Structure 1
Amino acid sequence: MKFKMSEKSLFAVLLRSPWWISFVLVAVVALAAGALLPEKYAGVGMLGGFPFFVIGCMAFWRQRNLPSPALVEKGLQSLGGMSWRDFSVVLDSAFTRQGYSVTPLTGAADMLLEKKGVRTVVSAKRWKAAAMGLEPLRDLVAQRDALEASNSVCISLGQVSTKADDFAAEHRITLITGADLVILVDKEVKAL
């Protein structure tokens, strides 16, 4: 059985927030406990901030190598200015650097990745679309199944609709957008 945290829970929100916010909450809980509780119980009350400390450490670990929002925006603008030919070369290089063999495809998927016998189809040709809807994802699932691939990836610079996001989660499609895309191709874009 897999545990899934609600996306709206305090801890889920803190994991997505800058790491230092959790440490501020630790300090607030400690100060409030020290000020409001009898001296005999203040130490125990201060321990109430420990879960926030753990979440802060987890958020720090996740965020330690993330680019700043300004670098993400600059990277996305750079990618948005590329032609499909240049963008596909950047993706090919990024996946090859990660150890995948890359085969170009036609149809809903643009690339077939293979690594250690696991096949993944990648759809990226609509990376410049302002919004990602359901239709490209349905087509990607059909091509993934036709090629007997295990995984599927869809790459987009635009917003992903809620329905498309739900469909992707339900059909094992990894969506690579925003900062994740910039991180994926960072070395290749810097080399240009």
Structure 2
Amino acid sequence: MARRRSSLAEDVMDRVARLPWWLGVLLAIVSHLLLRPLAQRPLPPYTPGTSIAMPAMVQGLAAAGQIALPLLCLAGAGVSAWRRRQRRGLARDAAQRPAMDAVNGMSWREFELLVGEAFRQQGYRVAETGGGGPDGGVDLLLAKPGANGSEKYLVQCKHWRAWKVGVGVVRELYGVMAATGAAGGYVVTAGRFTDEAVRFAEGRNVVLVEGAELVRMIRGARSGGSG
């Protein structure tokens, strides 16, 4: 299905929502402080042969932007804070419930949030690509400081429980890794992988994570943090 084209306001709010909530609040303050002087700047006096259309247009955009842009940033910060709370709630439930019960009742979106939180607890910086959906491509971008700077990893989430994830999915991710220069990749599923997929991943720096192992990752990180 083709994705609905978003407006500029929706795009701004969505991008801010992918940032930490406090950064969205900071952007709201900074954008207001930058645009307010432009909105209040007096127009140059009119002289014959000159046009004030451009300065007037800039002032009008700044006047509207000093209100609209901070509101969009604050809305995005609110969404970010809500997602953060949702991620932590999902991780808490996953750590407390039986392994497969924790993921079997989730939607694909909740599963993706849980996977992102699991990698955050492993020390990664996680960015959502926004290209998700039940059968999207790369869903998460991971970054972790390494010996040669920040290394990038790709994550593909497959919320499939009724059948096994085949080798085609792993090949697809490996191709994107090669094209983008990623240091490694993960395919995470609520179900299982075929034997062919497991054989293909061996020696290619692609890690296959099944649902029960995902829950063990979260439990291990939480117990380590508590300790």
Q: TM class, shorter-chain normalised?
A: 0.5 to 0.7
- Map Cα deviations across residues 61-107 of structure 1 (whole Å, 9 max, x no partner): xxxxxxxxxx9992212202101121122222221222211111235
- Map Cα deviations across residues 115-153 of structure 1 (whole Å, 9 max, x no partner): 001111111134435201011111111111222110111
Conservation of the 8 A alpha-carbon contact between 1:140 and 1:152: yes
Residue in 1 that maps onto 2:118 = 94
Say which SS state the counterpart of residue 158 (structure 2) adopts: coil
- Map Cα deviations across residues 42-63 of structure 1 (whole Å, 9 max, x no partner): xxxxxxxxxxxxxxxxxxxxxx
Alignment of 1:134-173 (within 5 A): 134-173=167-206
Q: Which runs of 5+ in 1 are unaligned?
A: 1-70
CA 1:176–1:136: 2 relative to 1, 3 Å? same
Letter matched to residue 115 of structure 1: K
- The CA RMSD over aligned residues, in Å, is 2.8
**Residue of structure 1 aligned with 2:139, choices 99, 110, 125:** 110
CA 1:169–1:73: 2 relative to 1, 3 Å? farther
Aligned residues: 120
Q: Which runs of 5+ in 2 are unaligned?
A: 1-94, 223-227
Matched, 1:84 2:125: no
Q: Following the alignment from structure 1 to structure 2, what is the Cα–Cα distance between the partners of residues 81 and 141?
A: 29
Conservation of the 8 A alpha-carbon contact between 2:108 and 2:159: no
- Rg larger in 1 or in 2? 2
Say which SS state the counterpart of residue 109 (structure 1) adopts: coil
Conservation of the 8 A alpha-carbon contact between 1:91 and 1:185: no
Matched, 1:123 2:121: no
Say which SS state the counterpart of residue 126 (structure 2) adopts: strand
TM normalised by structure 1 equals: 0.54
Q: Following the alignment from structure 1 to structure 2, what is the Cα–Cα distance between the partners of residues 177 and 72?
A: 18
**Residue of structure 1 aligned with 2:217, choices 171, 184, 190:** 184
Structure 1 stretches of at least 4 aligned residues deviating more than 4 Å after TM superposition: none
Q: Following the alignment from structure 2 to structure 1, what is the Cα–Cα distance between the partners of residues 109 and 203?
A: 31
Conservation of the 8 A alpha-carbon contact between 1:128 and 1:157: yes
Residue in 2 that maps onto 1:48 = none
TM normalised by structure 2 equals: 0.47
| Identity over aligned pairs, percent | 29
Conservation of the 8 A alpha-carbon contact between 2:126 and 2:140: yes
